[in-house]
């Protein structure tokens, strides 16, 4: 008898917060059975901070692009070194851009 040993994707985090100024922060992280094309780890993530439909800060690992971040419309490479660091880096960038305005 053959057994299906395929692991399924598991959502690790799905958090959304609306701020008093109308900005939204959403963090979604999945644990996947294999890496997304372009990434060296087995997580799929989308971290978003924006207002009025504009992405101000975003971190993601879109298929084929790998790990990267967006700040004020500019895209930058991002070196993934763990989930805790990813979330901390994102929140640090959000804090920084909030103080710029």
pLDDT at 101: 67
For the chain, give every domain's residue range. Answer: 10-100
pLDDT at 33: 92
Average pLDDT along the chain: 92
pLDDT at 7: 74
- Read off the pTM: 0.88
Average pLDDT over residues 16-43: 95
pLDDT at 63: 83
Tokens encoding 8? 């399924």
d(CA 31, CA 40): 13
CA angle 71, 67, 95 (to 5 degrees): 35
Segment 47-93, tens digit of pLDDT: 999 999 999 999 999 888 899 999 999 999 999 999 999 999 999 99
The band of 1, judged by pLDDT with boundaries at 50, 70 and 90, is: very low
pLDDT at 3: 44
Question: Distance of CA 19 to CAs 14, 22, 99, Å?
Answer: 17, 5, 14
d(CA 29, CA 52): 23
């Amino acid at each position: 008898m053959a057994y299906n040993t395929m692991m399924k994707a598991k959502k690790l985090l799905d958090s959304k917060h609306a701020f008093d100024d109308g900005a939204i922060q959403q963090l979604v992280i999945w644990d996947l059975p294999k890496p997304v094309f372009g990434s060296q780890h087995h997580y799929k993530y989308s971290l978003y901070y924006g207002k009025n439909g504009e992405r101000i800060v975003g971190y993601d690992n879109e298929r084929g692009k790998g790990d990267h971040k967006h700040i004020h419309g500019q895209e930058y490479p991002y070196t993934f070194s763990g989930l805790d660091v990813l979330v901390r880096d994102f929140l640090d960038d959000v804090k920084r851009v909030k103080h710029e305005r």
